[in-house]
Amino acid sequence: MSPNPTSESEAAAPQARRNARVAIICGVVFASMVGAAYASVPPYKAFCQLTGYDGVVRRAQAAPDHVLAKTLLIRFDVNVRDLPWTFTAEQATQTLRIGETGLAFFKVTNNGAKAITGRAIYNVVPEAAGAYFQKLECFCFSDQTIAAGQTMEFPVVYFVDPAYAADFETKGKGEVTLSYTFFPAADAPAGKPGAEPSRGKTASALGGTARARL
């Protein structure tokens, strides 16, 4: 006897429905996982800045109360991604004692035809130094809006915590590289009225100043 096509079709229908349900469930779960990953970015960044995890520099409230005799060579690295900006470090390296407060300057020029807001991300190498390399003032603490053709000079005030010299992962490391990368701020009002900063001095994080040049 030949198979009944209608019976085979009816038997396959429940399986097809089950497959469709599984596909929908998988899609919902995947979307939820992606959403959770994006939602976790701000807490992850805050965690890294608090702990120095993953080479992220910590934000400090005060300088250490003692300075060691041991010195470190600090190297500065700068990069730009998808911005018509020229970004330079005014010093290639600095040598300072562990616990001593250092002051470095960086210069950014907007070569574009309109005001643009950028955001700097940062980390240090070796990664283990992230727990001890701390900043009191930095342009990376907030977005920076630079007018067309304008040059801004930003100070960074930093130190290396004396505990660096006691950690077995870092005490033998005589060099630390601080790296910055500027990229477009996600919510930047680039080119819109009001986006251009005032001429002259512009307030920066922690009460410092960024010098504007035209």
pLDDT in tens, 131-183: 999 999 999 989 999 999 999 999 999 999 999 999 999 999 999 999 999 99
pLDDT-derived band at 6 (thresholds 50, 70, 90) equals low
- Distance in angstroms (rounded) separating the CA atoms of residues 92 and 104: 10
Highest mean pLDDT among 5-14, 59-68, 122-131: 122-131
Of 97, 77, 64, which is closest to residue 174 (Cα–Cα)?
A: 97
Calculate what percentage of the chain has a pLDDT beyond 90: 54
Structure confidence at residue 61 (pLDDT): 75
Structure confidence at residue 55 (pLDDT): 42
pLDDT in tens, 113-129: 999 999 999 989 999 99
Q: Considering the chain, what is the average pLDDT of its residues?
A: 75
The pLDDT of 94-115, averaged and rounded, is 97
- Distance in angstroms (rounded) separating the CA atoms of residues 214 and 211: 10
If residue 7 lies in a helix (H) or strand (E), which one and from where to where? helix 5-39
Structure confidence at residue 107 (pLDDT): 98
Of 87, 108, 116, 184, which is closest to residue 151 (Cα–Cα)?
A: 108
**CB-based contacts of 68, cutoff 8 Å, min separation 6:** 97, 98, 99, 162, 165
In the predicted structure, residue 111 carries a pLDDT above the cut 80: yes
The pLDDT of 184-189, averaged and rounded, is 65
Structure confidence at residue 63 (pLDDT): 87
Structure confidence at residue 186 (pLDDT): 76
In the predicted structure, residue 48 carries a pLDDT above the cut 70: no
